[in-house]
Amino acid sequence: MSQVPTKVGILLFPGFEPLDVFGPVEAFHTISKQLAKINLVWIGPSLDPVSTAPKEIHTTTMGSTVDTRVVPTHTYDNPPEDLEVLLVPGGLGPRVPTSDAAVAFVKKTYPKLKYLITVCNGAEIAARAGVLDGKRATTNKFGWKASIATGPKVNWVRYDRYVADGNCWTSGGVSAGIDAILAWMVHVYGREVAREVANEMEYEWRDDKTWDPFAYMFSGDA
């Protein structure tokens, strides 16, 4: 493995949340053009397209249908040998039975990784895999209570937008993943590069992990 990681995998499972994935993926796309080498792979249960709608929940109470389907490049059984970074999104998916396979994949894969990054309640997948035990971590603030119940041995940090402990980076809900990935890019590539990525994305980056109004907004979910 190189000093600076290049092989980045996105973990897909039925019911993943779109922006949990595509906020960070946009940052990887942007940095990949002229600032850093990134080889992005998509890891699903099989090579079939993976839907944002979990199999168990086809519609909403409103009669909505909002499937998004993304095509994996690799499977849980055959991931790239040289995977260095794994990004785990949240959504409804971590709370349905099909997520067991994703949990097993994280458990199996984590020891080989340079970095594990979770967004939103993707932390539930990592917590259930046991890889956050004894570590400081965060998760979505809208739905805090249900998320942290999955990791009784995790030192949950409620009032930060994202948390880094060792090689585990965990983020608050949905959009917080963009701030988390930019902070991770500061760590790996330096602040100047991360700032260039944020600007090209025309993203108002809060370069401060303690900035999280949503943690206070949703603090009633005790």
Burial class (CB in 10 A: 0-12, 13-18, 19+), 159: middle
Residues with Cβ within 8 Å of 139's Cβ and at least 6 positions away in sequence, in order, are 90, 118, 120, 121, 123, 124, 147, 148, 156, 170, 172, 173
- Which CB atom, from 37 or from 145, has the smaller least distance to a second copy? 37
**4 lies in the site for a second copy, by CB under 8 A:** no
- Which CB atom, from 50 or from 102, has the smaller least distance to a second copy? 50
**67 lies in the site for a second copy, by CB under 8 A:** yes
Backbone angles phi, psi at 184, to 5 degrees: -65, -40
- Which CB atom, from 40 or from 186, has the smaller least distance to a second copy? 40
CA 153 – CA 149 distance, rounded (Å) = 10
Footprint (CB under 8 A) of a second copy, residues 8-37:
17-19, 21-23, 25-26, 28-29, 32-37
Binding track, positions 109-148, relative to a second copy; x by CB under 8 A: -------------------------------xxx------
- On whether the CB atoms of residues 3 and 79 are closer than 8 A, the answer is no
CB of 47 to a second copy, least distance (A): 11
Write the DSSP assignment of 201-221 as a string of letters.
TT------TT--HHHHHTTT-
What residue ranges bind a second copy (CB under 8 A)?
17-19, 21-23, 25-26, 28-29, 32-40, 42, 49, 52, 60-71, 73, 140-142, 172-176, 178, 199-204, 206, 213-214, 217
